Structure 1
């Protein structure tokens, strides 16, 4: 009997040790209080179910429907993408959710509401996780014929073409056919001061070259004519501070011609447009009556769609810097190709966007065809004499593969950059 009692005491003693150990272990575990939990609602605009991912960022077969209410335990980052944890090894992208338990507002409707507050007409493509998430169009491609803008509508993209020229230059550098330090004198020896101007300075608008947006009354016939027009109208100085001018990129298009022994458009097609299958992308002089081409309009005296046709002479003078027409979806595909290293290795693209001179307080942060901000890169393209019609905004976040393309054919009284940023915020 005494032996049996002794066994019972030992048993209870061991059980007590195990209980205390378990309690201590539980106390050491990270806990999620009610206050730490995050109420969220799935808010994927097309209305399909969204994938659940594991902590390696691999999608599983599990799907969660739009408007599903969930409780997230934490916000984390997987492969550069913000993700909510909703269970053991279960994560969903933050960009496809909204905070709270309310009925999820359709993202497309939210975009429509923002546009409705303006006189914007055009097409907007949004990008999430390096995929086109939506393409929405507003207003008329041709108001007289009652043809509405669509996903296929092509717009003159103005200075947004500069980043394509910059990519072509970076590709030539990658192949060893050129360098960032190559002097302009190698290509244009008769221009004053070219022995002090480099390819890098042209790309960053720090060449000392100055030229207004002047253009001929009638269209120039060839790319070389346009380059000659620029050479005959530019001025140079020893001031290599930031000074934005189309002339820099017209000269870069000429460098592409001289290095490759082909026309600029031939090279652009062979190295960017054709590989990426950009079928709604053409130079202004290659458009036909069968193409969906946006006409320029402005809002005037309380009326939309007041014609503001763009000068063909202007377009003819801007090879490599503003003569290209594109659809918003094609432009989005180009951005995705840059993000996924389809056109340039990551290191080469990073170098293209690296400023070699720290900008002064009153200067823009600009490199390789892009304005650079904290966590994003951006392009704003317009034509000085046609500022109320055609306008282009492209903004890409530095991580996560998200961004927006906004192409307008009526932009009167619209802060297109702010509109783009507001739409971009909708998706997180």
Structure 2
């Protein structure tokens, strides 16, 4: 994997020095510092946070970068951003809509012949998760039924042993389309990584260039996102970075392995990108403030479709979350095998929260609840001026 570091604002040593300064500055935001420590206490290995609001920029970190070490995670470190990738892909498709190369309500099959995509499925349905197409990473039904996806998503030792295998986007799509659809196109909502791999193939078909080239042309280049990359099949992640881990059982013995290096082709454009909290802030603030898209397309992107998730609607590549305190935030977080990214903004871009996490992943998703609770605490602190509990706010 190649990442252009020539445009970075800081060297690794400068970043380390700034991390110390940020930690000191964090004393001025005791609520944020407290939430970070609570998140680490819940079992997360390390976390970094970047907040931009009317008080300026605040950056801090807690926990450790590596198991057994003492150093905190680097505040400008690289991280696998998982499903936050979907917002980048959706923005790229909408940029192509603005250029007249793609139509939101055009059938996908017209641009991608040969896959057997249902002729009723439109580009909008892909970005909105209303296509009904089977999720190649596996489907979980309301009655408890689980239908497995590709081998790379099998938990435990098999996942560890397969983490360097290369999957082609067309291979993932064909597997998904060989399975029964979850529902008729447009009839419901269900999160499916397949939608965004199809979006990738669509981008490449209509432009004649790779998704990496188009991402650089329309998103990364214009915004100066020198710390963001589309690794496709590249296995490494640039320094500095915190380490990601996976825990599994082998022959009755529990093992924990470093999985920072892996081949992200198993998730493809459903979640393969690498970025930093600084770049995520630049991206989400530019996106919602209208620097990337015409007003009408931005409005389409941020218009929520109902989902089964309480307090959450889904637009085109973004969740629209009700804060529960009279406001909304535009967001799309993501997790990828021991790495995770946070990305939130007010609808006008005046306040953002971005962050990175490293943790020990496992088949039981042991940290899922801690992650959800952590994000809600952060939303309360950053977008609602503190937690709802008056006793905690006083602390």
User: Normalising by structure 2, what TM-score?
Assistant: 0.70
Tell me the residue number matched to 1:250: 197
Please state how far the C-alpha of 1:254 moved relative to its aligned partner: 0.9
Determine the C-alpha separation between the residues in 2 that align with 1:127 and 1:382: 22
Equivalent position to 1:126, from 39, 44, 51: 51
Equivalent position to 2:299, from 328, 333, 350: 350
Please state how far the C-alpha of 1:423 moved relative to its aligned partner: 3.1
Q: Do the aligned partners of 1:242 and 1:363 also contact (CA within 8 Å) in 2? A: no
Deviates most, 276-285 or 291-300: 291-300
Aligned ranges 1:245-324 → 2 under 5 Å:
245-284=192-231, 285-286=233-234, 291-297=239-245, 307=257, 309=259, 312-313=262-263, 315-324=264-273
Q: Do the aligned partners of 1:210 and 1:243 also contact (CA within 8 Å) in 2? A: no
User: CA 1:261–1:148 in 2, change beyond 3 Å: closer, same or farther?
Assistant: same
- Structure 2: tracts of 5 or more residues without a match: 1-21, 138-148, 153-161, 249-255, 323-327, 361-366, 387-395
Q: Do the aligned partners of 1:283 and 1:323 also contact (CA within 8 Å) in 2? A: yes
Equivalent position to 2:35, from 110, 114, 128: 114
Determine the C-alpha separation between the residues in 1 that align with 2:59 and 2:81: 17
Equivalent position to 2:169, from 214, 223, 226: 226
Q: Do the aligned partners of 1:406 and 1:420 also contact (CA within 8 Å) in 2? A: no
Equivalent position to 2:75, from 118, 126, 151: 151
User: CA 1:382–1:361 in 2, change beyond 3 Å: closer, same or farther?
Assistant: closer
Higher relative contact order (CA 8 A, sep 6+): 2
Aligned ranges 1:406-417 → 2 under 5 Å:
406-410=355-359, 412=367, 414=370, 415-417=373-375
Determine the C-alpha separation between the residues in 2 that align with 1:421 and 1:404: 8
SS in 2 for 1:196: coil
Q: Do the aligned partners of 2:204 and 2:211 also contact (CA within 8 Å) in 1? A: yes
Equivalent position to 1:162, from 86, 94, 102: 86
Determine the C-alpha separation between the residues in 2 that align with 1:112 and 1:172: 41
Q: Do the aligned partners of 1:393 and 1:406 also contact (CA within 8 Å) in 2? A: yes
Equivalent position to 1:404, from 349, 353, 377: 353
User: CA 1:417–1:363 in 2, change beyond 3 Å: closer, same or farther?
Assistant: closer
Q: Do the aligned partners of 1:188 and 1:194 also contact (CA within 8 Å) in 2? A: no
Determine the C-alpha separation between the residues in 1 that align with 2:80 and 2:238: 16
Q: Do the aligned partners of 2:48 and 2:356 also contact (CA within 8 Å) in 1? A: yes
Deviates most, 175-184 or 402-411: 402-411
User: CA 1:390–1:132 in 2, change beyond 3 Å: closer, same or farther?
Assistant: farther
- Alignment partner of 1:141 is 2:141: no
**Aligned-pair RMSD on alpha carbons?**
3.3
Please state how far the C-alpha of 1:287 moved relative to its aligned partner: 6.8
Tell me the residue number matched to 1:203: 127
Structure (1 or 2) with the greater strand fraction: 1
Determine the C-alpha separation between the residues in 2 that align with 1:127 and 1:422: 15
Determine the C-alpha separation between the residues in 2 that align with 1:373 and 1:218: 33
Tell me the residue number matched to 1:180: 104
Please state how far the C-alpha of 1:197 moved relative to its aligned partner: 0.2
SS in 1 for 2:222: coil
SS in 2 for 1:203: helix
SS in 1 for 2:52: strand
Specify the structure having the higher radius of gyration (Cα).
1
1:12-34 Cα offsets, whole Å, 9 max, x none, are: xxxxxxxxxxxxxxxxxxxxxxx
Please state how far the C-alpha of 1:299 moved relative to its aligned partner: 9.8
User: Normalising by structure 1, what TM-score?
Assistant: 0.65
User: CA 1:212–1:354 in 2, change beyond 3 Å: closer, same or farther?
Assistant: same
Determine the C-alpha separation between the residues in 1 that align with 2:204 and 2:74: 34
1:162-183 Cα offsets, whole Å, 9 max, x none, are: 0010001101111111111111
SS in 2 for 1:282: coil
SS in 2 for 1:293: coil
Determine the C-alpha separation between the residues in 1 that align with 2:284 and 2:200: 20
Q: Do the aligned partners of 1:110 and 1:426 also contact (CA within 8 Å) in 2? A: no
Determine the C-alpha separation between the residues in 2 that align with 1:151 and 1:360: 34
- Structure 1: tracts of 5 or more residues without a match: 1-44, 49-104, 301-305
Q: Do the aligned partners of 2:82 and 2:341 also contact (CA within 8 Å) in 1? A: yes
Determine the C-alpha separation between the residues in 1 that align with 2:117 and 2:235: 38
